[in-house]
Amino acid sequence: MELGAFSASLAVTDLQASKLFYEMLGFTVFAGDQSQNWLIMKNGNHAIGLFHGMFDKNILTFNPGWSSDAQPLSQFMDVRELQRRLKDRGVKMISEADESSTGPASFTIADPDGNTILVDQHV
C-alpha cells in the first residue's frame, strides 16, 4: 500500500526560530507562507512542515498523489481507497474522508502510542 510522499508536520512555538534551526541542518524553504504561520522545508528527499498555532502536537503526514517534490503523480491510490483498505484491516479512524467525494480529501488515524497520522491528498 503506497501512502505517498512522507513528511513530519511539526507544531512549533516560534516559526522563525525553527526555520533558522532547520536551515542550520541543511533544510531550505520549499513552500509555505511565513505570514500564514507555516513553511515546508526540504533537505534532499526529506521534508518537514513547520506549523505555528495550527495543531497541538506533531503529526506524521503522507500525501497520496504527490512525489517527494510535491509534484502530482500520474498513478496513485486514492485517499478514499486507502481509507477503505485500512478500515477493512481494523484501523480505527479519527477523522474520515467523504467516500462519495473525489479529488482532495484526508483522514487521520493514530498509532498504538497515540501519534497522529494524517493522510492528506491534494490532487
Q: Is the pTM of this model over 0.85?
A: yes
How many separate domains does the chain show? 1
Percent of the chain clearing pLDDT 70 (strictly above): 100
Mean predicted confidence (pLDDT) in 68-75: 91
What's the mean pLDDT when you consider all of the chain? 96
Q: What is the CATH number of the domain that holds 114?
A: 3.10.180.10
Residues 50 and 46: their CA atoms lie apart, in Å, by 13
Task: Report the range of poorest mean pLDDT among 6-20, 61-75, 87-101.
Answer: 61-75
pLDDT greater than 90 at residue 82? yes
Residues 102 and 65: their CA atoms lie apart, in Å, by 13
Are the beta carbons of 7 and 55 closer than 8 angstroms? no
> Which domain covers residue 33, as residue numbers?
5-121
Residues 118 and 58: their CA atoms lie apart, in Å, by 10
Long-range contacts, 88-93 (Cβ 8 Å, 24+): none
